[in-house]
Amino acid sequence: MADHNFDLVILGSGSGGYAAALRGAQLGMSVALIERDKLGGTCLHRGCIPTKALLHSAEVADVTREAGSYGVNATFQSIDMTAVNKYRDSIIEKLYKGLTGLVASKNITFVTGEGHMTGPKTMTVNGENYTGKNVVLATGSNTRTLGIEITGRVITSDQALQMDFVPNRVAILGGGVIGVEFASIWRSFGAEVVIIEGLDRLVPNEDPAMSKVLERAYKKRGIEFKLGNRFKTVSQDDNGVTVELENGEQISAELLLVAVGRGPNATGFGFEEQGVAMDRGFVPTNDRLQTNLPGVYAVGDIVPGLQLAHRGFMHGIFVAEEIAGLKPLRIDEWGIPRVTYCEPEIASVGLTEAQAREKFGTDSVSIYEYNLAGNGKSNILGTAGVVKLVRQNNGPVVGFHMIGSRAGEQVGEAQLIVNWEATPEDVAPHLHAHPTMNEAIGEAHMALAGKPLHAHA
Ligand SMILES: Cc1cc2nc3c(=O)[nH]c(=O)nc-3n(C[C@H](O)[C@H](O)[C@H](O)COP(=O)(O)OP(=O)(O)OC[C@H]3O[C@@H](n4cnc5c(N)ncnc54)[C@H](O)[C@@H]3O)c2cc1C
């Protein structure tokens, strides 16, 4: 059995793992990056990138349908899933090639195969030992299924991304991020869609103001949703799948997408056997991303918290810098920007109104909602929505929530405002280019600073 020694050994090459590898190499470490599948992980191959490519095809379909209202003569005919998938794969392939080249150019040792922790700082892959002065666990997440068998007509996002046809009618279990994104895609592609959500609103992790606008938009788009009702059973036969809800209602569809969240992929690789403390399958860390074992770090989706690719990137960079002794700034979970890429998109950062009232006291918080009806660019694009700000009285903006087409592109400024603890008065004097949707952020801050411009209330 051969032994290989490195400064840094990383298990898993998704967003968290490869970011740690790149930053570690940049800082002069010798790095081994172990991967059983493809460099890039969930985000690149089965998550962020393919879903956003499909959402872009969906947007093109919607724009084509509505072309006449913009004075453009075009007719929507149909969706060619083979061509959609070819476009999606071309994006993945290009990014995959770029990332592979980047990793190779940094002299990172890429090891192909499933790794198992066989010593506190040793991973064994295909009979070879890779020992690091430090190791990073970055094995990511899997779809949760709540005990529902994934087979035939009952699928997860993994199978949904491989489909070569548009279903006639699809049921989606879960009205969170992945559920509402697929609902958006399939509806734009022409399917009937029904979402089943156990809580009383869509996107239940967002501020309720976002759920309200999304529900109105989905109703208008003909997307059905059943709220406040959990599923009881799922059955399927040659003709379709039936979901029975706890209230006895039965929902039939051609396919059922199970989108009830993702769980950690951290068991079966020897972590526990080597003494890594686990919590319900996750690998908890301190705020320096260290596990209970010295020199063993964890990053990305296996660490309890938001399961987002950019959190993984930042975790990876943080760990490499921490090991190098650079004392990076702690990553505040609450300041991580979040985007849901359905149509209309939702962008948020910081606290919801309820969270802020709970944290600072009910009367110590002010809110302002700026309606995109007053925003020129939103009118040009034909989108409805709001910007909702939550501020601590006489203090900073602690929550930003926006819904509208392309709202995701606005989250950058919002996350600087929230993370830099800017007050509305700090933001109000700064110009926002006209006509942009970004202007709505400026307008909302001006209004909250007591000097509204294009605002009726
Ligand atoms: C449908 C979908 C859409 C999403 N959209 C977005 C989005 O728009 N924006 C966003 O920020 N996030 C999105 N996410 C979430 C995002 O993909 C994850 O947060 C991110 O990929 C987590 O990175 P990670 O490095 O922790 O894990 P992963 O990306 O899951 O990578 C883990 C890697 O480890 C490998 N591995 C696991 N075990 C072993 C082992 N024992 N040996 C060797 N290799 C191993 C796996 O093969 C995998 O490549 C989406 C997820 C899904 C499923």
Regarding whether 130 and 69 lie in a shared domain, the answer is yes
pLDDT at 457: 63
What letters, b where the CB count within 10 A reaches 16 and e where it falls short, cover 119-149? eebbbbbeeebbbbebbbbbbbbbbbeeebe
Q: Is 434 a catalytic residue?
A: yes
Query: What is the C-alpha to C-alpha distance for residues 427 and 439, in angstroms, rounded to an integer?
Result: 12
Domain total in the chain: 3
Distance 90 CA to ligand 1 centre (A): 20
Residues in a beta bridge with 338: 348
Instruction: Name the closest-CA residue to atom 12, ligand 1.
Output: 308
User: 10-27: per-residue pLDDT in tens?
Assistant: 999 999 999 999 999 999
What CATH number corresponds to the domain at position 223? 3.50.50.60
Same domain, 370 and 433: yes
From 260, 291, 307, give the residue that closes a domain: 260
Q: Are residues 170 and 251 in the same domain?
A: yes
Backbone angles phi, psi at 392, to 5 degrees: -80, 135
Closest CA to 418 of 445, 450, 386: 445
**DSSP code per residue over 416-431:** HHHHTT--HHHHTTS-
Indicate whether 221 and 160 sit together in one domain.
yes
How is residue 269 annotated by DSSP? S
Structural domain contains residue 246: yes
- For residues 389-423, b (16+ Cβ closer than 10 Å) or e, as one string? bbbbeeebbbbbbbbbbbbbebbebbbebbbeebb
Q: Is the CB of 309 under 6 A from ligand 1?
A: yes
Q: Domain check: are 133 and 276 in the same one? A: yes
Dihedrals phi, psi of 362, to nearest 5 degrees: -55, -40
Q: Are residues 292 and 392 both part of a single domain?
A: no
Structure tokens given for 93: 């392939």
Q: Is residue 374 part of a domain?
A: yes
pLDDT at 233: 96
Structural domain includes residue 100: yes
Residues 369 and 350: their CA atoms lie apart, in Å, by 16
Q: Whose CA is nearest to atom 34 of ligand 1?
A: 12
Catalytic choice (315, 401, 434, 454): 434
Q: Are 113 and 34 in contact (CB under 8 A)?
A: yes
| Domain termination site, one of 333, 364, 381 | 333
Q: Report pLDDT for 455.
A: 79
- Pick the last residue of a domain from 291, 307, 333: 333
Half-sphere exposure of 339 (CA within 13 A, CB side): 21
Distance (Å, rounded) from C-alpha 342 to C-alpha 345?
5
Say if residue 232 is in the same domain as residue 244. Answer: yes
pLDDT value of residue 334: 93
* 59 and 158 fall within a common domain: no
Residue for token pair 């770090």: 297
Could you list the pLDDT tens digit for every one of the 457 residues in the chain? Answer: 689 999 999 999 999 999 999 999 999 999 999 999 999 999 999 999 999 999 999 999 999 999 999 999 999 999 999 999 999 999 999 999 999 999 999 999 999 999 999 999 999 999 999 999 999 999 999 999 999 999 999 999 999 999 999 999 999 999 999 999 999 999 999 999 999 999 999 999 999 999 999 999 999 999 999 999 999 999 999 999 999 999 999 999 999 999 999 999 999 999 999 999 999 999 999 999 999 999 999 999 999 999 999 999 999 999 999 999 999 999 999 999 999 999 999 999 999 999 999 999 999 999 999 999 999 999 999 999 999 999 999 999 999 999 999 999 999 999 999 999 999 999 999 999 999 999 999 999 999 999 988 877 6
Domain assignment of residue 365, given as a range: 344-448
Please state, in angstroms and rounded to a whole number, the distance separating the CA atoms of residues 414 and 419. Answer: 8
What is d(CA 44, CA 25) in angstroms, rounded to the nearest whole number?
21
- Indicate whether 457 belongs to any domain: no
129 and 267 assigned to the same domain:
yes
Q: From the CB of 265, is ligand 1 less than 6 Å away?
A: yes
C-alpha triplet 219, 220, 225: angle, nearest 5°: 15
Q: Residue 321: CB within 6 Å of ligand 1? A: no
Neighbouring C-beta atoms of residue 104, cutoff 10 Å: 11
Are residues 98 and 53 part of one domain? Answer: yes
Q: Is residue 71 part of a domain?
A: yes
Residue 264 CA to ligand 1 centre (angstroms): 10
DSSP code string of 9-74: EEE--SHHHHHHHHHHHHTT--EEEEESS-TTHHHHHHSHHHHHHHHHHHHHHHHHHTGGGGT---
Q: Are 106 and 24 in contact (CB under 8 A)?
A: no
- Is pTM beyond 0.95? Reply is yes
Give CA angle at 369 (345, 405), nearest 5°: 20
Compute the distance between CA of residue 120 and CA of residue 188 in angstroms, rounded to an integer.
50
State the DSSP code for 113.
S
Q: Residue 456 domain-assigned?
A: no
pLDDT of residue 59: 98
pLDDT in tens, 245-282: 999 999 999 999 999 999 999 999 999 999 999 999 99
**Same structural domain, 180 and 85:** no
Ligand 1 contacts CB of residue 156 (under 6 A): no
Give dist(CA 300, CA 19) in Å, integer: 10
| CA 31 remoteness from chain centre | 28
Atom 31, ligand 1: residue with shortest CA distance: 14
Tell whether ligand 1 has an atom less than 6 A from the beta carbon of residue 415: no
Amino acid at 319: V
Is the same domain home to 292 and 407?
no
| Phi and psi torsions of 57, nearest 5° | -60, -40
Instruction: Tell me the CATH number at 394.
Output: 3.30.390.30
> Could you tell me how many residues make up the chain?
457
d(CA 31, CA 316): 13
Give a yes or no: residue 455 inside a domain: no
Q: Is 5 in the pocket of ligand 1 (CB under 6 A)?
A: no
Residue nearest to atom 37 of ligand 1 (CA): 139
* Cα 190 from chain centre: 24
CA separation for the pair 59, 40 (Å, rounded): 26
